Structure 1
Amino acid sequence: MIRQERMQVVDQKQIARHIFELTVQGGLTSEMTAPGQFVHVRVADSYEPLLRRPISVAAIDPELQQFTMIYRAEGRGTSLLSQKKPGDTLDVLGPLGNGFPVEQAEKKAYLIGGGIGVPPLYELAKQLNANGIQTVHILGFESKQAVFYEEKFKELGETHIATVDGSHGTQGFVTHILNELPKDFDTYFSCGPTPMLEAVQWAFPEKRGFLSYEQRMGCGIGACFACVCRTTKSETDYIKVCSDGPVFPAGVVIA
């Protein structure tokens, strides 16, 4: 069930270049059921900036009624958000969207993320591990300064890092690592830039996959049609990433 709540900021810190980790507490957490869902955050109490910002949920702690978001501070809205301190409150709407189907993995899953698409894969990895699924994480970043959560992912399974400039891990993209890994997994889950998602689909046409798309959003609840994409079903069939997704089976979305 979607709720709107003023949640309390528990902690916020910068964890990589322009990347912030923000933990909030409140009853809304109890509504979070699937990794890959997101929240819509009002970054200021004024009318400017007007629109909320969609932010991925990276970790959920039902016992403490806390969840953690990871976002990139690159515009006015997220820069204002990065100034929030413990004890402040934040207007949050969520959880929104349909997350990753954890039950679809059988024995071994590849989790493939790029940049700010990495955060939702962390909660996914935790839940898959809890279900006895072996996870392998392939994560791509621009440079060493942009890498985050590497050690946390390593605690959950085999982890590979790619950086575009080669300053850390394998030089190149996640596809360079995927080409070298065995294809002994049954399911893959991926989140990141659209070109990366397209490349992953082409790499594993015979595998069961689920992709989380990053789209600009206005309302976050399917009312404004800002995040509409075509599907492969027909030329006149469209989906809304915010409410129909953001997670879709591989081969459904024409981005």
Structure 2
Amino acid sequence: MRQLATIISNRLIATATMEMKVEIAPQEVAPGTFFHVKTSELLRRPLSVANVEGNVVTFLYKVIGSGTADLAARRTGDVLDVLGPLGNGFPLEQTGKRVVLVGGGIGVPPLYYTRRLLAARGIETVAILGFDTKTSIFYEDAFRELGETIITTVDGTYGEMGFVTGPLARVEADVLFSCGPEPMLKAVAASHIEERYISIENRMGCGIGACFACVCEAPGGYVKVCSDGPVFRAEEVTL
């Protein structure tokens, strides 16, 4: 669904990490889905949903190229051309189960919205969030308000030193939801948790499954991250 979104705020919250809130037509947004946002360049940028409150949607994005630099320069009142919500998200039907949410870097945002919705259903969760260094951390307090939260940093400047796989090995849970860079996803997909869902980050073209720019290898063929995912059962894809 193509629509216009008005920027309410657009601010720096961590090293090279921006939080953008936009006002959009009220709609149901599943956790783990994304919006395809037009920049000044020809192609759009996929932004995962960090939160939804009424008709206000929050995106978090890392400024790493000209497209996201263009988004970072936008101001309150500017209007964005967006497609969405798109894709398939995390399944919330986890009654009676304990869910561990594992995020790395800019893969953390969709897990916050997911955790809020799980908490509203009375589902117990624990979050493990991995960052490069202390200045890269965001949303720690927001996550802690929803339950047990473990922070790791690669350089040990905050929380546990190392990667998310360290604390994950100690956690007992029935279901795993994860989003982050591919090496991290590959590691958590092989974890001891019985039921595992991973959200794949990938550069996209059309965002609706027509251009085959975001294909991912799968047993027996390929899947399109934008339309078949971005959330998959771990066994559905080959990383």
> Could you state the TM-score of these two structures normalised by the residue count of structure 2?
0.97
> Using the alignment, how far apart are the partners of 1:77 and 1:22 within structure 2?
14
Displaced runs of 4 or more, over 2 A = 104-107
Q: For the aligned residues, what is the CA RMSD?
A: 1.1
Q: Which amino acid aligns with 2:128?
A: I
- 1:239 is the counterpart of 2:230: no
> Using the alignment, how far apart are the partners of 2:165 and 2:38 within structure 1?
35
Q: Tell me the CA shift for residue 201 of structure 1.
A: 1.6
| 1:59 counterpart (51, 56, 68) | 51
1:201–1:105: structure 2 CA closer, same or farther, 3 Å change rule? farther
> Using the alignment, how far apart are the partners of 2:201 and 2:171 within structure 1?
28
Residues 105 and 186, structure 1, Cα contact 8 Å, conserved in 2: no
SS at match of 2:96: coil
- Cα deviation code 1:140-185 (max 9, x no counterpart): 0110111000000000010001111111111110001112x232x1
What corresponds to 2:183 in structure 1?
195
- 1:5 is the counterpart of 2:29: no
Residues 137 and 159, structure 1, Cα contact 8 Å, conserved in 2: yes
Residues 71 and 116, structure 1, Cα contact 8 Å, conserved in 2: yes
State how many pairs are aligned.
239
For structure 1, list consecutive stretches of 5 or more residues without a partner in the other structure.
none
What corresponds to 1:254 in structure 2?
238
For structure 2, list consecutive stretches of 5 or more residues without a partner in the other structure.
none
What corresponds to 2:102 in structure 1?
112
Q: Which amino acid aligns with 1:145?
A: T
| 2:27 counterpart (20, 30, 43) | 30
> Could you state the TM-score of these two structures normalised by the residue count of structure 1?
0.91
What corresponds to 1:182 in structure 2?
171
- Cα deviation code 1:219-238 (max 9, x no counterpart): 11101101111212x2xx21
- Cα deviation code 1:163-211 (max 9, x no counterpart): 11111111110001112x232x11110000111111112122x511111
> Using the alignment, how far apart are the partners of 1:122 and 1:106 within structure 2?
20
> Using the alignment, how far apart are the partners of 1:165 and 1:218 within structure 2?
34
1:250–1:105: structure 2 CA closer, same or farther, 3 Å change rule? farther
Residues 163 and 171, structure 1, Cα contact 8 Å, conserved in 2: yes
| 1:70 counterpart (41, 60, 63) | 60
| 2:196 counterpart (201, 209, 224) | 209
Q: Tell me the CA shift for residue 19 of structure 1.
A: 0.2
After superposition, residues 91-240 of structure 1 pair within 5 angstroms as: 91-104=81-94, 106-179=96-169, 181-183=170-172, 185-204=173-192, 207-232=194-219, 234=220, 237-240=221-224
> Using the alignment, how far apart are the partners of 1:246 and 1:117 within structure 2?
12
| 1:40 counterpart (36, 43, 63) | 36
